[in-house]
Amino acid sequence: MNSLRNELKELIEQKGTKLIDAWIGPEDIKEQILAVLHSGRHLLLEGPVGSGKTLIAKELASRLPDMKVRDCGFNCLPDSPECPQCKTAQKDAPIITIPGSKRFVRVQGSPELTAEDLIGDIDPVVAFKFGPFDPRAFKPGKIIKANRKILFIDEINRLSERLQNTLLQVLQEHVITIGNFDVEFDIDTILIATMNPAEYTGVERISEALKDRLERVKITYPTAEEELEIVQRYGVKTDKEIPLKLAQEIVEIIQRTRTDKDIENAASVRATLSTWNLSQSFTTLRKDSTVSVDDIRKAARVALRGRVALAPESPYFEHPVEYIHSLVDSVLNNN
């Protein structure tokens, strides 16, 4: 049987760091990420908002081979119906093919997330009639759906302590407890979890026990050269031309927000892409074919307005719009 771990291991051996070339960043960071997965460990990606964490996890899933599984809610392999459903009610579950890109289950970490969301839920009345794992009684949660898939938990530090322990139990002992039922079922998954850097979130809310089972790789925002490559690769492509100097200025404006002491919430790569895209729309509205300094100015103002938050101690705290205008102008007028 080829487990997800082995499939990933083989892919990493074949492709090396090219596997995550979609993420533009330092080679040594890519190596760290792939080494963790190659050794079959769970990964914690620590990085600021919009730094490509989701992109990395999705890209990895999309490279996985298609898989044939039984349509039983646990994704059993066709010739090993080993889950509680296959063993009881779903003896003849149909075989379906799941493409690599769908071998990805996403969970948004939040204090409101419940054990039922994560593990599953059993309706006691129906269970009494048909048994607890009859599909009519049992609704599989995200972890079970992630069998033979990548389990992606965004902002894992926001899960309640109780749920972190539940997760731990599954990752460590492969035992699932649902209500009063303990099921031993070996979940074949690799966890890719994310969190924002501790500097931003304040206290780190990952239990010591869970931390000890995750390998942490820290990613940061791209350098100016990398960010230019990102917009050139992922920004919209229209018939409008953005002169190189202006493209560099877009990047410079956004990068400023990440070092400026006046700013509490910096602008992410999404803001760069947004400025790139909007500037071309402003050009279209002017019925021109080449993006101008003024188009960039207008685009950056719009893109930054809703994203940048000023620090309470900044003299601009009460005047964020003025601040944004002066930041944009200082880059555009100086170059």
Ligand X SMILES: Nc1ncnc2c1ncn2[C@@H]1O[C@H](COP(=O)(O)OP(=O)(O)OP(=O)(O)O)[C@@H](O)[C@H]1O
Decide if residue 54 touches Mg ion (CB under 5 A): yes
Decide if residue 51 touches ligand X (CB under 6 A): yes
Nearest residue (CB) to ligand X, 94 versus 202: 202
Decide if residue 53 touches ligand X (CB under 6 A): yes
Nearest residue (CB) to Zn ion, 135 versus 320: 135
Structure tokens at 269: 């790569």
Nearest residue (CB) to ligand X, 51 versus 75: 51
Least distance to Mg ion from the beta carbon of 184, Å?
A: 33
- The one segment of 2-10, 48-56, 82-90, 180-188 that binds ligand X by CB under 6 A: 48-56
Q: What's the burial of 219, exposed, middle or buried (CB within 10 Å: 0-12/13-18/19+)?
A: buried
Least distance to Mg ion from the beta carbon of 53, Å?
A: 5
Contact at 8 Å (CB) between 321 and 305? yes
- The one segment of 19-27, 104-112, 182-190, 297-305 that binds ligand X by CB under 6 A: 19-27
Least distance to Mg ion from the beta carbon of 194, Å?
A: 6
Least distance to Mg ion from the beta carbon of 267, Å?
A: 16
Which does residue 55 touch among Zn ion, ligand X, Mg ion, none (CB within 5 to 8 A, set by kind)?
ligand X
Decide if residue 235 touches ligand X (CB under 6 A): no
**Spatial separation of the C-alpha atoms in residues 51 and 111, rounded to whole Å:** 23
Decide if residue 222 touches ligand X (CB under 6 A): yes
| Coil vs helix vs strand at 314 | coil
Count Cα atoms within 13 angstroms, Cβ side, for 31.
3
Q: In Å, what is the CA distance from 211 to each residue of 41, 168, 197, 226? A: 12, 10, 14, 31
Contacts (Cβ under 8 Å, ≥6 apart) of 315:
262
Count Cα atoms within 13 angstroms, Cβ side, for 100.
12
- The one segment of 36-44, 46-54, 156-164, 276-284 that binds ligand X by CB under 6 A: 46-54
Decide if residue 25 touches ligand X (CB under 6 A): yes
Nearest residue (CB) to ligand X, 3 versus 248: 248
Decide if residue 50 touches ligand X (CB under 6 A): yes
Least distance to ligand X from the beta carbon of 207, Å?
A: 22
Tell which one of 76, 137, 269, 291 touches ligand X (CB under 6 A).
269
Nearest residue (CB) to ligand X, 230 versus 303: 230
For the residues of 120-185, what is the DSSP string, one character each?
EEE-HHHHHHH-TTSTTTEEE-HHHHTTTSEEEEETGGGS-HHHHHHHHHHHHH-EEEETTEEEE-
CA 298 vs. chain centroid, Å, equals 30
**Spatial separation of the C-alpha atoms in residues 60 and 49, rounded to whole Å:** 19
Contact at 8 Å (CB) between 41 and 64? no
Contacts (Cβ under 8 Å, ≥6 apart) of 114:
163
Which does residue 222 touch among Mg ion, ligand X, Zn ion, none (CB within 5 to 8 A, set by kind)?
ligand X
Binding site for ligand X (CB under 6 A): 23-25, 47, 49-55, 154, 222, 230, 234, 269-270, 273
Binding site for Mg ion (CB under 5 A): 53-54
